[in-house]
Structure 1
Amino acid sequence: MWAIRRASVRIKSQPSSSVTFRSSSAKFETTSSSYTDNTNFSEPPPLVSNRSLPINRFYSQTHGNQSFLIGNHSFSSQAGTESSGEEDDAQNNSFSFNDISDSGLISEADKSESESESEDDDIAVKEPQNELNLSDNEEEEEAVETKGEERRGPSGLFKVMVNSSSMVAAKKALDKWVEDGNDLSRSEISGAMFELRRRRMFGKALQLSEWLEGQEKVEFGERDYASRVDLFAKTRGLQKAESYIEKIPEAFRGEVVYRTLLANCVQITHTKKAEQIFNKIKDLKLPITAFSCNQLLLLYKRTDKRKIADVLLLMEKENIKPSLFTYRLLIDTKGQSNDIAGMEQVLETMKTEGLEPDLRCQIVLAKHYIYGGIKDKAKTVLKEIEGDNLKENRRVVSSLLPVYALLGSEDDVKRVWEICESDPRLDECLNAIDAFGRLKKVEEAEVVFEKMSKKWKQLSAKYYTAMLKVYAYNKMLTKGKDMVKLMSDNGCRIGPLTWDALVKLYLESGEIEKADSVLKKASEQIQGKPLFATYMMILDQYAKRGDVHNAEKIFYRMRQDGYVSRFRQYNSLLQAYINAKVPAYGFRERLKADNVFPSKSLVGQLAQVDAFKKTAVSDLLD
């Protein structure tokens, strides 16, 4: 039944002298029983038997023979990094959890890009960045998305919130709005919440939610409380969200509420807290759903791929059927490890289980084929996506444009764009700009942007940012500056994505100091912290220069913004020391303090900057 364990290359069975397996109730833990190598860090046992842990066959030989041990099944975060030395630099957007509510106050997710956007969208499909999905059903998700697209115009309740300058003003305006006889139906509330979330106005959404809770005509359910938890987490942090849960009536403090908090932990890659919340769901004897397991899979895909097998084993033990999202995530994970055979085996397993790849899954497959250099298979997948008549299959046009650009096929990009050129949609324009930009067809991208600007008079910042990225790709600093000025003149709010594009623009033009200055200003903005990927662009440049002082400065600023305990940061920082040819005193202690487990590549870097390493000459002198 659970054929997923057949979906990868088999790891040879090896003696399990130092490995034991203990089955128990469904809580997971990566055990601390380990061996210690010459770096003085604990590492998982290198040998594991397939008989003891068959799910390990998910891993291909690209991960090496290192395995991990399943202990008494409570999740713990003893190793906070990936074994392969690979990290999703931007909490990768390939599978940001696209969850939507089918009822309650969360009507549809925000389709704007989130802070997970980065250059790594090359190898990961750009999905709508839905803020939270409280349903487990893929068909439900698609239905809600369609419903959102059909909605006509913002609700009156939404307008009241947008026009209110403060909570006090909002409460008075809302009270008057009701007194004037306006409708306070579920559909009106849902419409207002959808519009606020879509515009990332989470503070106002929380204000509206707080006001609604005090209205006698509005009956709160578990999903409504879950919406409040989500908004608390986004505006006031995880601690406030967790505290709010304790105030929710016990009858409504169910699995949906806790998994909402779990999703927010994963969104900001807070591994320890996410594992604590998952264990709490178990402790409270709430049902473990595919949603919660998928959240952990997403988390470990970003932070420690070795732990993915822990989650898969839990799903098998608890008889939790993998969803389409589960398979998409596993396919993407295999693809990122350049394990094309393993990726195809996961796909076959998915089909065996009765699930056909959807558009998102096909796009992921095509992109990994491209990056694996297997262009013929990529073209086959893309032709399957197109179908017999692309004009009738218009919904796939937007997704095809950037993939054909990655393939380097200018003719196909132009052919697909012609399908919608006479009456394009916003997402089609956005992806056409990106596609032409990657092909270095700046003039064509500018034509699309001009067409978009004329059709829609008021564009949000992300559409200007798309053009800004084109100028960054092509090192056109002057035009990039003009685009930023145009954004400012048109009243666009400059957010993390725009800062990211602006930093990239200066870096591509060789102005690292200016890029650093821009990043510093961005970090001081109240609207939102810079992306992880934005910081890493600067850190990598300083590392290349061997500029230890500025590399440490960026590293410190990342910690201030909450980006801690990531392998990728330490990897780049160590490279700065290596290129500067200076020792890195106390670096092992720093790694231990942050609970960062070194991969082989990091161990190699540490050896290069070890001030006390022994050599043949030093032994003679001693």
Structure 2
Amino acid sequence: MAAASLFADLLRQARPRNPSVTILRALPLSLRQPSQPLSSGLANSQGLAVEEEPAALVDDLRSRIFRLRFPKRSAMDALDRWVGEGGTVTASELREITKDLRKSKRFKHALEPICTDDMISEWMKVHQESELSDKDYATRIDLLTKVFGLIAAEEFFEGLPSSFKSYEACTALLHSYAAKKQIEKAENLFDRIKELNISSSVFAYNEMMALYISVGQLDKVTVVVDELKRQKVSPDLFTYNLWISSCAASLDIISVRRILDEMAQDPRSDKQWIAYMRLTDIYLAAGQLESSQSSLSEVDKQISQREWITYDFLIILHAGLGNTQMLNDIWKSMKMTKQKMTSRNYICVIGSYLMVEQFKEAGEVIDEWKKSKGQEFHISDCNRLFEALKKTGLSDKAEKFHELMEVYLPKSLCAIFMQILTWMESDGCFQLLPSDHGAKLDLLTKVYTIAEAETYFQKLSSSASKRAAAFPLLHSYVKAKDLQKSEALMYMLQNSGLVVDPHPFNELMKLYIATGEIQSVIKVIQYMKRSKIPLNVLSYNLWMNACGMLYGIMSAETMLMEMTNDKNVEVGWSAYYTLANIYTNAGNHKKAHDALALAEEKLSMRKPPRVSNVLLAAYMRNGWMDKAKSLHLHTLEKGGHPNYKTWEILMEGWVKTTQMDRAVEAPLRL
């Protein structure tokens, strides 16, 4: 199938490479952000495979080699000519040149840099045998495979003295076997590596796991993991990802959850691991992987699903690592296959973009999914993703996803979706899931009225359906500032035991602040603590705001300290922005200035412009034009993109400070 070769290429790109193979590159292949799409078929057929030199020619060794545009021109001749002219060269200098030549990685498009690279290695071997390291031999094996084929690499390896058949050289050849799907040869070499007992590195184990996944021998992945544990080799995130994806592709969800528990107990678990585990939880919940067994009646479908699930876990892995460029490349590659993507694939990509805060890209995927001819868009799938984000503690991502849905799902489309859900329910052949009921109630508030939504809610019988539908109903009450109905709904939910997360409480606290019922916010927090309902970032911000309004600055600062001490909450820019507003309202402009500076430090320029606009407006309100200008310029320098609101805020500030010439220019930028 068309996806098969692309999958194998992506899997090789994603697995961690032996450092010996990648030592002459800027970063390990699995962690760096490639400038090209991952599939050879996606390479730029017009681009050169080497970097362009500046207009002014520089006569040094690097420049001479980079000016070789055709494979027939020998790099070794250039090296000999350089030395013959009295130039000096060291092994370290040649390695730097090699690293720069290999950055383009356009192996299928143009062999010239690889040929040149290999010739450099040859020149080092002939002229400076003593300077060749284990890493140089490993690099040569990797290049021989790419340029002349596997047989040439094998002959070179077998011709090496025993002392040079190091772990680096062995794993370089193992990688070549895995890339060519030479299972028997890879297994024999893997056994040889273990017998030599020359390293406790996890790289060889990862290579074998990736090989077995790429050829569909998923049962052998667990065998490799068992061997890894017997040898007391520490798994890394790539090991766990390969193990989890093999179990998920086999629909062994119990094993997936067991592996996630093991990851959580691993003392090396960090932010990247936590992000990965959260995305996996979201994928299992929103993608409904458990219920997919019924669709696997044909062999072709099994193969297709196995490959797509492994694609999904490549995306989850790189989202956990924060590799946005890899996300872009894999998503682009997936779109170019002829195989039909499922709703699970779209959910995975959207969730991953939300995790790395690439909201524009997430919106574009939603739009593409909606327009897809091969896959019918389902609002219930989106609702499951929304619920999974909330359940995993990513409330800010859930709220942003809700905003994106409102942008990309116009009211007319909502009406169509609601008609489909109504037909499914009335036809009797389909049973709506709880998330479907939640989606329908949300659509009722958008297309018709809250009264219609209330009637529908009252007819729901199961507690699961009521729980799913309660939040959109509460949200509609809050938007309408209907305090009485909001409190009545919350009272009913609490008595029924249907409230288990902070999101409904946050909605209610926002309403209390908007209607001036500040003391009620404190009561809500007290109830949440008694009921052991965890507070998230928004909960703390609302609490801090209420304390500042009721009891003053010191109380708000105490709340910030409590928030900082909560290990389950990460204090971000919004907390300091909230505190700055409290200081401003209290007339303490110095502390407000300092708090905004801390908020700015926490601000990532990858965030959408609305976030930096919030801080920009705060500076303007306090009359700190210099700080506003500095933030604006800093945002531009970091690649941020101001929107119309940015210029409106700046224009208003310039008018207040009588800088009319600048205010007049602002509308031209809208």
The two structures share one fold, judged by TM-score above 0.5: no
- More relative contact order, 1 or 2 (CA 8 Å, 6+ apart): 1
Bigger radius of gyration: 2
Identify, as 1 or 2, the structure richer in helix: 2
Q: Taking structure 1 as the reference length, what is the TM-score of the superposition?
A: 0.44
